[in-house]
Amino acid sequence: MEKGIVHIIFGNGLGKTSMALGRGIGAVTRGRKVIMIQFLKGVLSHETAEWLKQLEPDLKVFRFEKQNDYFEKLTEAQKREEQCNIQNGINFARKVLTTCECDMLILDEFLGILDQNIISFSELENLLAARQESVDLILTGKVCSPELEKYADVLTRIENVEVDKQ
């Protein structure tokens, strides 16, 4: 069985989710099963949800959060509820990683829940330890700490560069 990789896609530029999804679609074309769990994204539009359903059963997208606003804008009660929902998503990710339910797991905006201290770094380490070696794991988000970099096999920084057209 082939050894999987940990790929971290990060930066302030646009396209991190698109890149991860592109990697997932590429894996599907090679007969692999892919699961994407999205965090801090709010509610999917009906059109996007319908498009993603067309990729099933080979690529499935899950969201556990219920609010449609940025985490930092939520009331304290809403934040507590969303933290429970996020924890449910993390528990599901752990189950997927330990049972090899897929060949590739994409944790979209996972670095954001780490950066905002919604989960601890030790929780991330526990999640990484649960990964079966054959499963590819992709993490996305804006900030990748140096202590996280050591777990990556591939690091991709996404930056948008403004072009001066004068």
Whether the per-residue pLDDT at 131 is higher than 80: the answer is yes
Per-residue pLDDT tens over the stretch 12-70: 999 999 999 999 999 999 999 999 999 988 667 778 878 888 889 999 999 888 887 77
Q: How confident is the model at residue 161 (pLDDT cuts 50, 70, 90)?
A: confident
Query: Domains of the chain (ranges plus CATH)?
Result: 6-136 (3.40.50.300)
Predicted pLDDT at 154: 97
Supply the mean pLDDT for the chain.
Answer: 91
Which of residues 72 and 24 earns the better pLDDT score?
24
Predicted pLDDT at 1: 57
Q: Tell me the whole-structure pTM to 2 decimals.
A: 0.92
Average pLDDT over residues 67-80: 84
Average pLDDT over residues 90-119: 93
Average pLDDT over residues 103-126: 93
Predicted pLDDT at 65: 83
Give, in degrees to the nearest 5, the angle at Cα 112 between 110 and 113. 70
